[in-house]
Chains A and B, each alone.
Chain A
């Protein structure tokens, strides 16, 4: 009981640390690829601490609640995703709950941003919604392939099954590849940063956020990065103990970053078409194979 309570407190903190580390790393690595020096890796922490103490504006109650809801949803989600076998709430919700809780983040931000009458925010939200619809198609194929292959909806059992044999990516290469291909879209990094495109729509939903709002959404973004990459490691790379789990996450994130740092931004319609083409074909093919094999 005590152990699980401690885990419940520590897991979100671990997620936060890893997520913030990834954010800092992403900026540094991208800068080096661009032959710039880049900010220090701990820059996001400096930003968050600074932002919390700055003055901000609010457009109303939903503006506040949406931001809080979005971060709270992500924190809850962390408790359902095993981190090297540690998952305090794994028996209270399965992969289906995880898929659903992943909704709270965009919906919360969308509600919050919607309260401001800012054209940039409206464009950004509509892009976020369309992009989510686009990448969910291959994502669902990939996740369903896993659930069909392992005949369970429980994330813990998926991880356990992989530890007794090879990784999921060995048996399900196509869904793993499909998930990997949409990873940048789920993370909202280039070339899929249509939602927060700074040069076009002034960072989109973030344009109205200042001070603590920006701090909360940065934290949220960090945890979201942890969730998306962590889910991939759980589903296809066999989990492992906390240290191995972290190393796997790091490798996945870095490979994704290397590939994507050199691409220019896509337009939203190109992004949708991309998601509905190769990742979807691979995901569907993977699901059909998993259905036949299982």
Chain B
């Protein structure tokens, strides 16, 4: 009953918000906040419970649609609800000057409801329905701004449909073979299936979920879509919506097929998990190096989003206790960090009149200190600087890779981190540090409703970095449900058996060392505060307001690796699209619009059928 209430509130609430907006704009905003808050509360109440209910039955298919919650769905559901809530708060001010706000809030809440539906589904039919609700509302939200956004949305929906069709194919096949779509009964029924059949199922689902999670080579929709969507929705899209693909992977691979069967798929190193790991590694390296070359703040974060998806795939692909812990924890950490960064990019857009080009910004730290701190925390989390949440999950993934003796995968993961430092610093430097252009002299900090989500997420980054035990406890419950030896947790860092990591000691050491250095710093002669421009240029004359020093920041690296980093996959898809169009043009010739030709087709077809029939009986 609880689960039905959650979904009812979410779906109906979206409609009520739309209706309320028809009459009072103010009431709509308040209602939207309240309705996005409700699932947060309701889901946190179901912590550590196992509930399943059925809410509808389809007698003609002999199916009943149901909902359930377990540790895996709880983990995702709470993340969906929390990020959705924060994004709605952020929207209040950010969206003020946009048109069609009723539609916007309706779609935001509707997307969230769809995602909650996905993680709470107990059978594949409702899973698929909610999946499509999510996909289509995403399409509408991506194209919301019009113009370039429509093209981005189209690219997204075409790829999304391709994925959905693959998934639907697998689902129909499951129903035809087993007569049920209930996840828990499929999990036991599939244990006796042939490896070939399992591989077929997995491939179909991998295409479906891979498009959402943007794994290489199914990633090309993501950068456009993330850059063109409005920022609060980019935050949802990049942090949690694409990770529905990760939920799908976890569900199909470990919730249904199970570890035992997976390990038997393949010979030696050429098995399903190992290949998936390598896809994850490619997904890390290529997009992260492409991110270094981006000049658009949101595109940069979007490419990093693709890259970090690779870490999660690597984590769950290794399928050890450590790997799961790292992979699943990274889903949460990345969601927090990237939502922060999209809020930061949104705050900058809001105050500078929609500027996202990193070459035009600079020096905003003095004007927007809170936004800067949020940006710094978000980037630190992405890099995984010790004492931020990203450090713990990445540490777990590296450790799992090294302990499992996969040094080459570990190299891909580690070098991805150095790529992250480069684009992360570029993001911070080009927006907040360096010169402040004349036109931004009067920029102010964003209003508090926009600061609040950033502050909350910043605190979460640090909290989970120092007390990783909080989320890891839930993750160890998920591991138990997969039949893996559960990860033993400690509040600070890792228990002795797993490895040497103690976050509280590192924190203490950093605090003490920082304190000592600060003491030395303040005991020394006082420094005089001077303006930014009052700098020493070694005798050369630096004209004011003429140059932007940070343009083409990593040009030398670009010259060396740039030629290798063309998005070949994207080019291929465009080629495919062009060729298909040509082909469809040819096909169109068949439809002449002339009744006579259609009659001819019918007669020819009948003749063909008769021929086949006769031919077979004569044989």
Given A55-B525, A97-B386, A290-B407, also A71-B517 (CB < 8 A): yes
- The yes or no answer to A291 lying at the interface (CB within 8 A) is yes
Bound form: Cα–Cα A91–B504 in Å: 12
Q: Which of A89, A100, A114, A140 contacts B509 (CB 8 A)?
A: A89
Chain B: interface size category: 35 or more
Q: Tell me the smallest distance from the CB of B323 to a CB of chain A, in Å.
A: 15
Once the chains bind, are A272 and B557 in contact (CB under 8 Å)?
yes
Q: Tell me the smallest distance from the CB of B322 to a CB of chain A, in Å.
A: 11
Bound form: Cα–Cα A114–B410 in Å: 32
Bound form: Cα–Cα A91–B556 in Å: 40
Interface residues of B in 73-89 (CB under 8 A from A): none
Bound form: Cα–Cα A101–B502 in Å: 14
- The yes or no answer to B560 lying at the interface (CB within 8 A) is yes
Once the chains bind, are B421 and A140 in contact (CB under 8 Å)?
no
Which of A90, A91, A111, A119 gathers most chain B CB within 10 Å?
A119
Q: What sequence of 0s and 1s flags, for each residue 389-414 of chain B, a beta carbon within 8 Å of any chain A beta carbon?
A: 00100010011001101011011001
- The yes or no answer to A38 lying at the interface (CB within 8 A) is no
Binds A, one of B129-137, B532-540, B594-602: B532-540
- The yes or no answer to B516 lying at the interface (CB within 8 A) is yes
Once the chains bind, are A153 and B411 in contact (CB under 8 Å)?
no
Binds B, one of A25-33, A212-220, A249-257: A212-220
Q: What sequence of 0s and 1s flags, for each residue 138-174 of chain A, a beta carbon within 8 Å of any chain B beta carbon?
A: 0011001101100101100000000000000000000
Taking CB as reference atom, which chain A residue is nearest B386? A100
Q: Tell me the smallest distance from the CB of B254 to a CB of chain A, in Å.
A: 26
Once the chains bind, are A100 and B384 in contact (CB under 8 Å)?
yes
- The yes or no answer to B559 lying at the interface (CB within 8 A) is yes
Q: What sequence of 0s and 1s flags, for each residue 70-103 of chain A, a beta carbon within 8 Å of any chain B beta carbon?
A: 0111011001000000000111111011011101
Binds A, one of B115-123, B241-249, B338-346, B493-501: B493-501
Once the chains bind, are A97 and B506 in contact (CB under 8 Å)?
yes
- The yes or no answer to B605 lying at the interface (CB within 8 A) is no
- The yes or no answer to B422 lying at the interface (CB within 8 A) is yes
Once the chains bind, are B556 and A93 in contact (CB under 8 Å)?
no
- The yes or no answer to B433 lying at the interface (CB within 8 A) is yes
Q: Which of A100, A136, A148 contacts B385 (CB 8 A)?
A: A100
- The yes or no answer to A294 lying at the interface (CB within 8 A) is yes
Q: Kindly list chain A residues whose C-beta atoms are within 8 Å of the C-beta of B502.
A: 91-93
Q: Kindly list chain B residues whose C-beta atoms are within 8 Å of the C-beta of A94.
A: 499-501
Once the chains bind, are B513 and A137 in contact (CB under 8 Å)?
no
Q: Kindly list chain A residues whose C-beta atoms are within 8 Å of the C-beta of B520.
A: 52, 212, 216
Bound form: Cα–Cα A142–B424 in Å: 25
- The yes or no answer to A126 lying at the interface (CB within 8 A) is yes
The number of inter-chain residue pairs (CB within 8 angstroms) is 237
Q: Tell me the smallest distance from the CB of B126 to a CB of chain A, in Å.
A: 42
Q: Tell me the smallest distance from the CB of B101 to a CB of chain A, in Å.
A: 37
Q: Kindly list chain B residues whose C-beta atoms are within 8 Å of the C-beta of A72.
A: 510, 513-514, 516-517
Q: Which of B414, B429, B513, B516 contacts A114 (CB 8 A)?
A: B429
Which of B402, B509, B531, B538 gathers most chain A CB within 10 Å?
B509
Once the chains bind, are B513 and A140 in contact (CB under 8 Å)?
no
Q: Tell me the smallest distance from the CB of B539 to a CB of chain A, in Å.
A: 8
List the 5 closest A-B pairs by CB distance, nearest first. A114-B433, A202-B538, A212-B524, A122-B549, A92-B502
B residues contacting A by CB (< 8 A) are 363, 365-366, 376, 383-386, 391, 395, 398-399, 402-403, 405, 407-408, 410-411, 414-415, 418-419, 421-422, 425, 428-429, 432-436, 493, 496, 499-502, 505-506, 509-510, 513-514, 516-518, 520-521, 524-538, 542, 547, 549-550, 553-554, 556-557, 559-560
22 A–B contact pairs at CB < 8 A?
Answer: A55-B528, A56-B528, A57-B528, A59-B531, A62-B433, A71-B513, A72-B510, A72-B516, A76-B510, A93-B501, A107-B425, A114-B429, A118-B536, A119-B549, A120-B538, A125-B429, A126-B550, A129-B554, A136-B418, A147-B402, A207-B536, A272-B556
